[in-house]
Structure 1
Amino acid sequence: MESGLFSVSIDFETSHLFFPTIIHWILGGLFALILITKVAPFMVAVKRGERTLPIIGESRDNFRFFGTFALIAAYFYLMAVVGDLFPYTGYGFLFVSIAFVLLMSLLYLHEWTKKALVIVVINAVVAPTLAWFVLAKLFTITLP
């Protein structure tokens, strides 16, 4: 094989790291750009007293705040538990995702009207089912 301008040599032991390295550098650069253009001026304004830090000193809805953490923790725990009942089918993902989307939507629903509840239930069934169908059936990705 000739070595020259149009020859390519690939080191297969490290070739899989090429694009992740580029992506890491791009993400790092974007993060630095955000820090410089957004966070630094905001912190200067906080130091001058023109703005306040978010969350500190503000009221929050503790029920929704801690309910969200509880639902997320339960979601990941129960996905494994239910997934073990139906191994290699993705039903753990499907059933737990339906319950998770339903409960999360109900947690953040402000007006409990019949129309809103119907929309929440339809969304809770259709969205995870569609995601499960695309991932598990079309792309044959193993789900818990």
Structure 2
Amino acid sequence: MESQWLSLFDVTIDFDQSHLFFPRIVTWILLILLAAILLTRYRLLVPGLKHAGRVLAGREGDFDRKRFFGTLALTTVYFYMMGVLSDVFPNTGYSFLICSIVFVFLLSLLYVGQLSRRLVVIIVLNALIAPAIAWYVLAQLFRITLP
């Protein structure tokens, strides 16, 4: 009888799924908040959404398609490659570091106006330093598992 009571206090962790616990909670909270916003502010949002649709379709306004779709493509490739590289470097955070360096570099090149030698040096330094600091703080100091 005593062993049944003690079994209530045993904790087992499924490490294959444990990292998904908080993202699922945050996702559901964000979806509930989105639904609340859409229900309460529907009349205010519709004109803006119609305007955005017309701009995306190219029927009105000045729209930088190269930067918009380039950002979407780079972000998609960033997350995909992080998953691919996490199989090569499991639980080290190196895939996060490598992909973030490349992502920051290419995104900066996409958004810079006129390239000069000085700007390229700044972009390269930013692409190397910012992800390295983020990786060091998250993976090394806080011991957060990164892909």
Question: TM-score, normalising length from structure 1?
Answer: 0.65
Letter aligned with residue 118 of structure 2: K
1:138 aligns to what?
141
1:93 to 96, 121, 127: 96
Amino acid at match of 2:68: F
CA positional deviation for 1:53: 2.8
**Structure 2: runs of 5+ lacking an equivalent:** 1-24, 55-59
Question: 1:26-52: per-residue Cα shift (whole Å, max 9, x none)?
Answer: x94xx75xx66xx85687xx6xxxxx9
**Match of 1:69?**
72
- For the structure 1 residues 58 and 91, does the alpha-carbon distance in structure 2 shift closer, same or farther, using more than 3 Å as the test? same
Q: Which whole-Å CA distance do the structure 2 matches of 1:94 and 1:42 have between them?
A: 38
Q: Which amino acid aligns with 1:65?
A: F
* CA distance 1:55–1:121, shift in 2 (3 Å): farther
1:65 Cα deviation after fit: 1.5
| TM-score w.r.t. length of structure 2 | 0.64
- Where in structure 1 are there 5+ consecutive unaligned residues? 1-19, 47-51
Aligned-residue CA RMSD (Å): 3.0
SS at 1:143 equivalent: coil
Provide the aligned length of Structure 1 versus Structure 2: 114
Moved >2 Å (runs of 4+): 39-43, 52-56
Structure 2 CA distance, aligned partners of 1:58 and 1:111? 23
Counterparts of 1:46-125 in structure 2, within 5 Å, are 53-54=51-52, 56=54, 57-125=60-128
For residue 129 of structure 1, what is the aligned residue in structure 2?
A: 132
- Percent identity reads 45
Larger radius of gyration: 1
